[in-house]
């Protein structure tokens, strides 16, 4: 597979073998964290918004479901990175 980067044609495998591990680790950790512990992300958002003086309240449970879906999407990106890295 060939990719064009900055007007140059390069092998796409070079990217995945050099940066694929980073994608794999970051997206797998974020995906698992968001899928199983969405309240940690919400507490972090409330804490960080409090630092800058913005009050944030979670009004319904759909926000938790959205964070879980975001976690599943991140984990799927990690699986794609693992596939491109190892196969």
pLDDT attached to residue 15: 67
**pTM for this model (two decimals):** 0.70
pLDDT in tens, 51-86: 888 887 777 888 888 989 999 999 998 898 888 778
**Which residue, 44, 34, 41, is CA-closest to 74?**
34
Per the listing, tokens 């073998």 go with: 17
pLDDT band with cut points at 50, 70 and 90 for residue 36 = very high
pLDDT value, residue 72 = 93
Burial class (CB in 10 A: 0-12, 13-18, 19+), 6: exposed
pLDDT mean across residues, the chain: 84
Question: What does DSSP assign to residue 5?
Answer: E
Predicted confidence at residue 70, as pLDDT, reads 92
The ranges assigned to domains in the chain are 2-86
């Amino acid at each position: 597979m060939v990719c064009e980067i900055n007007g140059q044609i390069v092998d796409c495998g070079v990217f995945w073998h050099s940066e694929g591990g980073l994608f794999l680790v970051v997206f797998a950790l974020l995906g698992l964290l968001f899928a199983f512990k969405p309240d940690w992300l919400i507490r972090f958002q409330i804490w960080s918004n409090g630092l800058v003086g913005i009050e944030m309240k979670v009004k319904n449970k759909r926000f938790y479901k959205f964070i879980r879906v975001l976690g599943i999407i991140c984990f799927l990106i990690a699986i794609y990175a693992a596939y491109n890295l190892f196969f």
